[in-house]
Chains A and B, each alone.
Chain A
Amino acid sequence: MRNSVYSLLLFFAGLLSSNYVFAQNNGAVENVMRSNGKIYVVLAVCITILVGLILYMVSIDKKIAKIEDKQ
């Protein structure tokens, strides 16, 4: 259950950020994402992966904690 919530959250975060990347007239965010050889796009991808992995670890951590509490 919790896992599916996380993946949904990630999915929507992805949707949102792609909107920012592709929108043609999106002001400040648009400018930031396209500046400097578009390094910010790479940064956004890497941060998304990092956050995804960490959410996954948090969920494993909680599952183990639950089993520990049952012992």
Chain B
Amino acid sequence: MPLTLTEVEHIAELARLSLTEAEKVRYREQLAAILDYAAILQQVDTSAIPPTTTVLPLRNIIRDDLVAPSMPIEDVLANAPAASEGCFQVAEILGA
């Protein structure tokens, strides 16, 4: 099905990506081509086939709830664009 510019804008917003007008046009075309190709899957009868979410037979891997030292806060904040009082600093959320 043809992908509209409005749908491209919607997806970009879901993914929090700012796009230029030229990018929106280009991606619309490229995404539509890939999705058209992917439509071949509709021809496969999968009514009785379970989805593979993982190739491993593992489920519910847990560990004992033991307290251990965490990463030092200086290391945690070392790459932070903005930090203050031992926390990551972010732009205002409430009332923004």
Physical interaction between A and B = no
Name B residues whose Cβ lies closer than 8 Å to a Cβ of A.
Answer: none
